[in-house]
Amino acid sequence: MQINHASCETCLAIISLAISGVTEGLCTATTPFVLLGDVLDCLPLDLCDKIFTFVEKNVGTWKSNTFYSAGKNYLLRMCNDLLRRLSKSQNTVFCGRIQLFLARLFPLSEKSGLNLQSQFNLENVTVFNVNEQESTLGQKQTEDREDGMEIEEGEMGDDEAPNNNSSIPIDYNLYRKFWSLQDFFRNPVQCYDKGSWKVFLKFSEEVLQVFKSYKLDDTQASRKKIEELKSGGEHVYFAKFLTSEKLMDLQLSDSNFRRHILVQYLILFQYLKGQVKFKSSNYVLLEEQSAWIEETTKLVHQLLCEAPSAGDKFSKMVEHILSTEENWNAWKNEGCPSYVKERQPDSKPLKMARKRPAPEDFLGKGPNKKILMGNEELTRLWNLCPDNIEACKSETREFMPSLEQFFEEAMEQADPENMVEDEYK
């Protein structure tokens, strides 16, 4: 069966129908993910790119409550299967899209995406010519001298004439030492070994001396190259260095290539000096090693600043990024706790305030236990004591007067000295 773009559109329509079915409750939440996995397993890589574009556009759907719990493992397995099929050097953009999609799909604290033990990618091996007998560097220099003798004066334009004073002398020893440093960048733990550290120190000093002695400037580019840059041609970036001996002199003369190497030094130095939770207790720098790292770090920043195309700005940007990296290292050392803070339950549930008083509030059954009489003074008098019987029994009230007090008024009326008339008695 031949699969074309029309078949691809049909598959996407079926998957969209499955998404609608899940939303309406007509099928299980795993149905779209099973269909996506089957389709990607059957399609070639060029059509998988189109299917994955659909997956990227629906990342909001996958993150919803309906789909996330049921489909996150399916999506992770699907993306990992795609990455195994893709070439890291030839399908760099597609691999990057998959990684970005996973970063958008899962939260930052997702355990499946965290390198909790700070392990290095030891499979990233840089292959170069380790046999000096097969090296073509010496042959190349001899051929260049012979070719130079055959060229007559005036045959080469002024714009394309090589600048012999600024050319970098390349031999096999420099080639071997330069690319051997990639193994230390790949696995920085080697620097804690005394023997390996001596090798790293020797190779680094020679390479950095070459960078320091043969500086770059904008005038080294020919007019032809400048016109190509102005034309805005498409640039191609590779995920892996090209280690051909024939490209060595061109690479060392490229400012972007030098930046890559110098930034690798800064990343390595930060790891060696930093506090890593899973780093062995034996991995400790000596005082002389720390001093060399401090001195070399200053040299690397100086070389970055001296590079053309706003080298000082690039150096400050790298320094800022590495300083913020300390926060990331601290977070990793703490076990990558989640940034989402759970809301603490309230000790006492809050009651919603009522806009209008309820009828029971007037009868003394409200939160204040007062009987409202419609007047402040009456309300105060009525609520002096909550119980009327108890108020009557209060000791402050006198209900049994003495005999003298009871007949006091009558005795005053009967006294002749008071001359009270009979009609008022």
Residue 412 has which token pair? 């005053």
Instruction: Give residue 313's pLDDT.
Output: 93
Residue 314 sits in the same domain as residue 388:
no
Instruction: Tell me the pTM.
Output: 0.63
| Total structural domains within the chain | 3
Residue 181 has which token pair? 């440093």
Residue 182 sits in the same domain as residue 265:
yes
Q: Is residue 387 part of a domain?
A: yes
Q: At what angle do helices 172-186 and 137-150 cross, to 10 degrees?
A: 140
Query: How many other β-carbons are positioned within 10 Å of the β-carbon of residue 184?
Result: 20
Instruction: Give residue 260's pLDDT.
Output: 93
Q: Is residue 19 part of a domain?
A: yes
Q: pLDDT of 245-260, one tens digit each?
A: 888 888 888 888 999 9
Residue 97 sits in the same domain as residue 220:
no
Residue 129 above 50 pLDDT? yes
Cβ neighbors of 283 (< 8 A, separation 6 or more) are 189, 192
Q: Is residue 340 part of a domain?
A: no
Residue 392 sits in the same domain as residue 304:
no
Residue 181 sits in the same domain as residue 325:
yes
| Structural domain span for residue 372 | 359-424
Give strand pairing partners of 371.
363
CB-count burial class (<10 Å; 0-12, 13-18, 19+) for 325: middle
Q: Is residue 225 part of a domain?
A: yes
Residue 269 above 80 pLDDT? yes
Q: Which residue has the higher pLDDT, 386 or 253?
A: 253
| Mean pLDDT score, 17-34 | 92
Cβ neighbors of 262 (< 8 A, separation 6 or more) are 211, 300, 303, 304
Residue 167 sits in the same domain as residue 299:
yes
Residue 136 sits in the same domain as residue 283:
yes
Residue 169 sits in the same domain as residue 202:
yes
Instruction: Give residue 208's pLDDT.
Output: 94
Residue 186 sits in the same domain as residue 214:
yes
Residue 20 sits in the same domain as residue 93:
yes
d(CA 121, CA 160): 42
d(CA 370, CA 351): 20
Distances (CA, A) of 188 to 118, 151, 292, 322: 12, 48, 16, 17
Residue 365 sits in the same domain as residue 417:
yes
Instruction: Give residue 113's pLDDT.
Output: 76
Residue 167 sits in the same domain as residue 109:
no
